[in-house]
């Protein structure tokens, strides 16, 4: 299997949020130290105010940093799982395909092209019970003392559907006949338990079950795969 890495969106966002957290704390600390060394009260007061403000910044940006790092771990698990499947060199995996040509806004976690078909994978590294019924998603996690509490999951199926529509439109703009695009939400955390029902067109699976949707049967011709690869390779760095 050939691999193409198109952007480092998550890494850049994680670094940016970490830098903001460190900068906020560092600025307040520097003012406090300056005041302590010089004996001047103004820097001490300003430093205290800055540290209090940095607490709010760290709370918000720190959560975002953790979220991006979690996404990076999920994508790492997906890559290793795809590599372990022993897919032929006719398959190409495109990671972090920029959406709307701007990786700073959004990207598709993975597009797999090969004889087995055309796939779009949306990676989620959430743990706990992942539940879906009638368009409603829920995540239930266990606290330190075993008490359950709700996590934040959002709507990964809507995100996946948008990415599929984007890919389809992109292929159509390149005058390519669009084959069936199989979308899948891939939960990569080994501590995730899925209770998901109600989907017909997309799949929701764990990383270890990827083989179930990547058939050994040829569903995409060499000509089709070549055209799709040529279109997607235009995003390559």
Helix (H, G, I), strand (E, B) or coil at 236: coil
Cα angle 156, 136, 194 (rounded to 5 degrees) comes to: 65
Average pLDDT of span 193-203: 90
Enter the pTM of the model: 0.83
Q: Which residues contact 71 (CB under 8 A, 6 or more apart)?
A: 10, 123, 125
pLDDT of 105: 66
User: 167 versus 47: which is more confidently predicted?
Assistant: 167
Tens of pLDDT along 91-127?
999 999 998 754 456 899 999 999 999 999 999 999 9
Q: Which residues contact 112 (CB under 8 A, 6 or more apart)?
A: 82, 91, 92, 93, 94, 118, 119, 121, 214
Q: Could you give the angle at which helices 222-232 and 156-173 cross, rounded to 10 degrees?
A: 100
> With contact defined as beta carbons under 8 Å apart, do 121 and 112 qualify?
yes
C-alpha distance across the termini of the chain, in Å: 19
Average pLDDT of span 158-164: 95
Domain spans of the chain, in order of start: 2-235
Tens of pLDDT along 47-94?
777 777 878 888 888 888 888 888 899 999 999 999 999 999 999 999
Distance CA 22, CA 27 (A): 8
User: 154 versus 80: which is more confidently predicted?
Assistant: 80
Look at residue 131 and tell me whether its pLDDT is greater than 90. yes
Joined together, the tokens standing for residue 215 give: 């058939």
Q: Could you give the angle at which helices 9-38 and 41-84 cross, rounded to 10 degrees?
A: 160
pLDDT of 103: 47
Q: How far is CA 113 from CA 142, 160, 205, 224, 233, in A?
A: 38, 17, 19, 10, 12
């Amino acid at each position: 299997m050939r691999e193409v890495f198109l952007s480092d969106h998550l890494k850049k966002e994680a670094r940016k949020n970490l830098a903001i957290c460190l900068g906020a704390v560092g600025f307040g600390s520097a003012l406090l130290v300056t005041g302590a060394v010089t004996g001047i009260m103004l820097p001490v007061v300003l430093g205290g105010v800055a540290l209090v403000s940095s607490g709010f910044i760290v709370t918000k940006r720190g959560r975002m940093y953790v979220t991006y790092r979690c996404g990076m771990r999920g994508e790492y698990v997906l890559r290793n799982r795809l590599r372990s499947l022993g897919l032929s060199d006719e398959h190409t995996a495109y990671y972090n395909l920029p959406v709307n040509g701007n990786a700073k806004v959004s990207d598709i976690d993975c597009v797999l092209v090969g004889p087995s078909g055309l796939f779009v994978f949306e990676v989620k590294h959430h743990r706990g019970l992942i539940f879906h019924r009638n368009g409603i998603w829920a995540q239930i996690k266990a606290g330190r003392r075993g008490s359950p509490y709700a996590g934040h999951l959002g709507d990964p199926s809507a995100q996946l559907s948008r990415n599929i529509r984007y890919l389809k439109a992109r292929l159509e703009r390149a005058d390519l006949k669009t084959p069936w695009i199989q979308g899948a939400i891939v939960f990569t955390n080994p501590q995730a338990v899925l209770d998901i029902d109600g989907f017909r067109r997309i799949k929701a699976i764990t990383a270890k079950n990827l083989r179930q949707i990547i058939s050994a049967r040829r569903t995409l011709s060499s000509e089709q795969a070549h055209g799709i690869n040529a279109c997607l390779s235009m995003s390559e760095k």
